Each structure stands twice: as C-alpha cells, then as structure tokens.
Amino acid sequence: MEINNLEIRKVHITRYIQPFREGGSLPGLMDADDGFSYVIKFRGAGQGKKALVAEFIGGELARLLGLRVPEMVFADLDEGFGRTEPDEEIQDLLKFSVGQNLGVSFLNGAITFDLNADFISEEEASKIVWLDALLMNVDRTVKNTNMLMWNREVWLIDHGAALYFHHSWDNWEEHIPKPFVQIANHVLLKRASMVDQINNTYKTLMSVENLRPILAAIPDDWLLDEIRNLSAQEVRHVYIEFLSRRATDSEIFVKQIQDARKNTL
C-alpha cells in the first residue's frame, strides 16, 4: 500500500454531548454538522497540540499498514461555543480549543478489547506491537489497551502518548536508534510471534514518500514550535526523518520485542 494523496474531511462541531473522564486529556463526545458523532481530542488539553499530532500520525500509519482505525477529521470549534457549559473545567477546555481540533469517528456500541475474552490473530498482534515499538507508544497496556471491539473486529484508538521524543526537540536524533524498553508492558506482546516475518514488509512502507502526505495533511498551527523557532515545515522534516530512519533500523526495536517476549514465555 502507498499513500498518493491524503484527504482529511473537515467538520464543524455543533453540540457537546459528554466528556470522557477516563483519560487526563478529557476528550469529549460531540456532534458535527455532517450528522455524525466524534470523540474530539482538544488542542487546549494538557499535552496540547503535540498529542493531536501523535494521534494523527499514529492513526494514519496504522491505517497505512492495514490495521483498523476510526476515521479522523479536523473538527472546527467556534469561539464562544462553551459559554453555556456549566462545568468550569470543560468550559475552560473549550475556550482554549477554539479552532481546529482532531475528531475520531465514534464507534457506537464498541467495547474495550479484553485479551482474555477477545480473539486477535498472532499476525495482527505482531503488526500492532511492531507499530507501537516504532512509534514508542507507551500507552497500550493491560490497564489501558486503547483497542476496541466493534463488529467483532479490533480497532485501534488513542495514539496521543506516542512519539514522546517531540516534547523535547533538542535531542530527537538520539531517540532514533533507541530500543523501546516499555514494549515489555504491551498488552499483545505474548501474541506477537510473527514480528520477524512482518518486519521486512512493514519497514519498507515507512518511506519518505509515504510519510510526506501524512505530515503534509497536519495543520501548520499544530506543528509550529515558537519556543525553538521552528517552522511547520521544519517540524514536518523532523518527524519524517525520525520515522523513516527508525524504520530503516527496525532490527533494533525488533530485537527488543523478541527479548521481551522471551522473558514472558
């Protein structure tokens, strides 16, 4: 699979339904003007726009690799939307989130994936573990799987904790060759028996040509780093370099996966 052009739909938020208080970022279920409901990840939440960037990159890379991810949209929140919200915490969140936020299609009726009750093939588990090691995603554990069962299929959600190197740009190149020791806590580690087989195929998909359209689709104002005086295009270049070079050296984190599996079997 290759990405030639990535078109992300834009919607306007019309109604706030309810917050999801399980996570610290307080995403909300909201209706949009296209008639659908979305889980909105807010730019004004604790981790700010970097969490939206990680969410978008992680989701679109998962989709590129053939994994199931709900559709993502850019969701506009108008000024003054939260003035009638009685909860002061939510009111402040909405006030600081005016503009483009990230919407993830709401999978009505989905339930949290349970490794003890739900089936997932060893191939699919290996693909997910491989991707999370590439992205350094610390948040797919037994306590918080960030996977849903919907129509008897596994769907991936919430990649906002991935790519944690971007919270400090100064040493981003040092993270490229690092093994990902937190993979030992991955909920699917025991089932990821085919990482070796899928590695050669997956690493070639992380090409600069495939990464560029994903990064190009991200709004400029999510990427600007005024503290370090980096333009949106310079930041895009960092993500592309990080991911493409880390995929090229994937044997490093693949070995980490294999070593961690040996300790659990």
- What is the arithmetic mean of pLDDT over 132-161? 96
Whole-number pLDDT of residue 2: 59
Distance CA 260, CA 84 (A): 50
Residue in the block written with tokens 């949209």: 73
Cβ-Cβ contacts under 8 Å for 112 (sequence gap 6 or more): 145, 147, 148, 149
- What is the arithmetic mean of pLDDT over 251-260? 95
Whole-model pTM: value is 0.94
> Cβ distance 70 to 155 under 8 Å?
yes
Distance CA 52, CA 212 (A): 17
Cβ-Cβ contacts under 8 Å for 85 (sequence gap 6 or more): 16, 91, 94
Distance CA 218, CA 214 (A): 7
Whole-number pLDDT of residue 100: 97
- What is the arithmetic mean of pLDDT over 98-123? 96
> Cβ distance 27 to 42 under 8 Å?
yes
Distance CA 50, CA 238 (A): 13
Banded model confidence at residue 21, pLDDT cuts 50, 70, 90: confident
The closest alpha carbon to 245, from 199, 153, 143, 176, belongs to 176
Q: CA angle 215-65-67, nearest 5°?
A: 110
User: What are the two backbone dihedrals, phi and then psi, of residue 112, each rounded to the nearest 5 degrees?
Assistant: -65, 135
The set of long-range contacts for 31-36, using a CB threshold of 8 Å and a minimum separation of 24, is 32/73, 32/75, 32/103, 34/9, 36/11, 36/105, 36/106
Mean pLDDT of the chain: 92
pLDDT over 70 (residue 3): no
Distance CA 102, CA 178 (A): 29
Instruction: Name the token pair of 9.
Output: 């739909």
Distance CA 264, CA 95 (A): 46
Domain boundaries along the sequence of the chain? 10-105, 111-262
Whole-number pLDDT of residue 174: 92
> Cβ distance 146 to 128 under 8 Å?
no
Banded model confidence at residue 47, pLDDT cuts 50, 70, 90: confident
